[in-house]
Amino acid sequence: SSGINAEYGDTRPLQDGDILNIDITVYKNGFHGDLNETFLVGNVDEGGRKLVEASYESLRRAIEQVKPGAKYRDIGGVIQKYINSCGFSVVRSYCGHGINQLFHTAPSVPHYAKNKAIGIMKPGHCFTIEPMINEGVWRDNLWPDDWTAVTSDGKRSSQFEHTLLVTENGVDVLTARQEMGGQPHFMDNL
């Protein structure tokens, strides 16, 4: 969802008003963690702020659904209903994923409604939710680095991700920020 990649042609410096997604993975003691966050660069216009706020809120609402007995396929409906009400779209090419000693594993957690994901959440399941939210159409293109995704219509995209652990009583957000009550960084200056 970001596109600053010198090897494949985007060498411009960040500019006032940009939004930038940073995706971080950690491997510690034999286990993976995965998170990402969209940052505001300087004075972002109202449309950009609304996009970033909506993408975070869609993740927050999805996390509220995580508990034993919940269906993985229902996460996408919660995200898409909210995002459509905001006038944005949900990328369908990527989904959340199981994560543990393997980086990408079952289950798949689509972020759009009417998906065919299988499985019921149980205590001990560990997975990510990471909706990519676009200003324009939901379609995306992949750069030759096989990693950088950009919108097919050139409009902005925002994404947030957390690694989650289903507990007996709900969910632990394993990648939550330790400061500021866990809020994402873009909210620090609102």
> What average pLDDT does the segment 16-34 reach?
93
Task: Judge whether 51 and 67 are in contact, CB under 8 Å.
Answer: no
75-97 pLDDT tens trace: 999 999 999 999 999 999 999 99
C-alpha to C-alpha distance for 136 and 156, rounded to whole angstroms:
8
The type of residue at 78 is: V
Largest CA distance in the chain: 48
- List the structure tokens of 59: 């993740």
The type of residue at 12 is: R
- List the structure tokens of 179: 């400061």
- Identify the residue whose tokens are 């000693």: 101
The type of residue at 129 is: I
State whether residue 10 is helix, strand or coil: strand
147-178 pLDDT tens trace: 788 899 999 999 999 999 999 999 999 999 99
Task: Judge whether 133 and 149 are in contact, CB under 8 Å.
Answer: no
At residue 3 the predicted structure's pLDDT band, cuts being 50, 70 and 90, is very low
Using CA atoms, how far residue 171 sits from 10, 72, 122, in Å, is 38, 14, 10
C-alpha to C-alpha distance for 72 and 83, rounded to whole angstroms:
18
Q: For residue 23, what pLDDT is reported? A: 92
Q: Is the pLDDT of residue 2 over 80?
A: no
Rg of the chain on CA atoms, in Å: 16
100-156 pLDDT tens trace: 998 999 999 999 999 999 999 999 999 999 999 999 999 999 888 887 888 999 999
- Identify the residue whose tokens are 């293109």: 141
